[in-house]
Amino acid sequence: MCIPPKTQIAAFDVASWEVDAEFGVFPQGARAKDAVFAPDSPPEPVIIPGRRYLFKRSRQNYPDQFWAEVVAYRIGCLLGVEVPPAFAAWNSNTKICASLIEWFYVDGQETFMWGGEFLQQMRPEFDRKRGSLHNLKDISALMRLWTRLKILHTDWRQWWVDALLFDALIGNTDRHQDNWGFVFRPDSIRLSPLFDNGTSLGHERLTEKVAQWSNADMDRYIKRGCHHLKWSMDEPTLTKRHLNLLRKALSEWPQTRQTAKQRMDFSEMELAKAFDDLTELDVPVCFSVERRSFMLRLLRRRHELLKELLNEYPATHY
């Protein structure tokens, strides 16, 4: 199911790229970001001429966080799920490093709306800032309605299981109500690619602090990982943990299990090769061998745990 990733030979310098002056109308997200347009003659074929890209910086406390976006894209390709292409980039004038993320819908032909827009309509008390009412039961009701109206052209149950699987593999804790949504065309609606994946892959851990972690330390860290959303308003908090929420979804939608298992059918060697070239890119904030080693260790262990979960039949209680 692997999707061939778009890879780069060198980090992209956006200093001369045109800045999108209208991007300020998109305030979502905690990390500083700009929108830029690719030149008509891009530096490499993987960049689309004239396309808008998001130049997304790291949080100040975690200067190499932007690499998580790039690695997450490569992992999405390995799984065969749609993630916007992400590259390593910098601005040679400001010396700022960031991920460069391809815009995932076509301006003038498509429009995009965040999931939170609709959840707030369903529940007027929905808090868009905190998203404490974000749950899959409400989301399912919306999806079923649009499916009955024959305007949603996505297998939404499989999409959500794939999203939960991807987030569990990379340890993403930030799939909030405005980190997924719908792409509208005049005659149809589809679910968006899985964007905004930088709060993942242990980005907040200093490599010198985790170098000596035991396997038990690693497992404790992984098992504490929680998703942003929960199954329903009535479910206990423990269901938000990555493995528990995925297990619940698989038990409710067993028809999605086989595809999920196929997505995880890759080897440790393929996992290691998925992003090993990134350490060779020359940017002021490099992708260090130590950071790669820690990410790979996390991914290998999560891969093991997820394969065990997917082989459970029938699904056990959570």
Domain extent listing, the chain: 12-102, 111-310
318, pLDDT greater than 50? no
DSSP calls for 39-102:
-SS-SSTTSPTT-EEEEEEPPTT-TTTHHHHHHHHHHHHHHT-----EEEEEETTTTEEEEEEE
pLDDT band at residue 30, thresholds of 50, 70 and 90?
A: low
27, pLDDT greater than 70? no
285, pLDDT greater than 50? yes
14, pLDDT greater than 90? yes
What's the pLDDT score for residue 313?
Answer: 64
CATH number for 12-102 (one of 2.40.50, 3.30.565, 3.30.200, 3.40.1000): it is 3.30.200
pLDDT tens by residue, 135-150: 999 999 999 999 998 8
42, pLDDT greater than 50? yes
Q: Please give the CATH number for the structural domain made up of 111-310.
A: 1.10.1070.20
Q: Judge whether 12-102 and 111-310 match in fold.
A: no
Q: Is the peptide bond before 284 cis (omega within 30 degrees of 0)?
A: no
pLDDT tens by residue, 83-121: 999 999 999 999 999 999 999 998 889 999 999 999 999
Distance CA 129, CA 124 (A): 13
pLDDT tens by residue, 180-218: 999 999 888 999 999 999 999 999 999 999 999 999 999
pLDDT tens by residue, 221-244: 999 999 999 999 887 676 789 999
Distance CA 184, CA 178 (A): 16
Distance CA 81, CA 163 (A): 8
What's the pLDDT score for residue 25?
Answer: 46
60, pLDDT greater than 90? no
